[in-house]
Amino acid sequence: MSKITISLGGKDFDIKLEGDFAVQFEADFKEKFKEKSTIDPKELLFAYVGKCYDNFVLEQEVTKLLHQMDEI
């Protein structure tokens, strides 16, 4: 289990993650926030909106692929 501490708005938050997800999350987090452990709430909000958009696009692609498979 990995523990990541993030400072947001002057308060520390500990996040405990396991396995491959922990490794991927930490790598993505470091890339997105340039190795910072203290984050501005606005930065976090923009990152969240970006991830929501990525998820939206992926869901559209999966739906499109499912429709294509149904046609076969």
pLDDT at 35 over 90: no
| pLDDT bucket at 11, cuts 50 / 70 / 90 | very high
Tokens of 69: 């498979």
Whether residues 32 and 57 fall in one domain: no
Residue 30's nearest CA partner among 6, 60, 63, 51 is: 6
| pLDDT bucket at 9, cuts 50 / 70 / 90 | confident
End-to-end CA distance of the chain: 43
- What percentage of the chain reaches a pLDDT higher than 90? 81
How far CA 67 is from CA of 7, 61, 62, 64, in Å, comes to: 43, 10, 9, 5
Whether residues 30 and 2 fall in one domain: yes
Contact criterion met (CB below 8 Å) for 33 and 43: yes
| pLDDT bucket at 38, cuts 50 / 70 / 90 | confident
Whether residues 33 and 66 fall in one domain: no
Domain count, the chain: 2
Whether residues 32 and 61 fall in one domain: no
Whether residues 26 and 7 fall in one domain: yes
Q: What is the pTM of this model?
A: 0.75
Whether residues 11 and 45 fall in one domain: no
pLDDT at 71 over 80: yes
Domain holding 53, by residue range, is 40-72
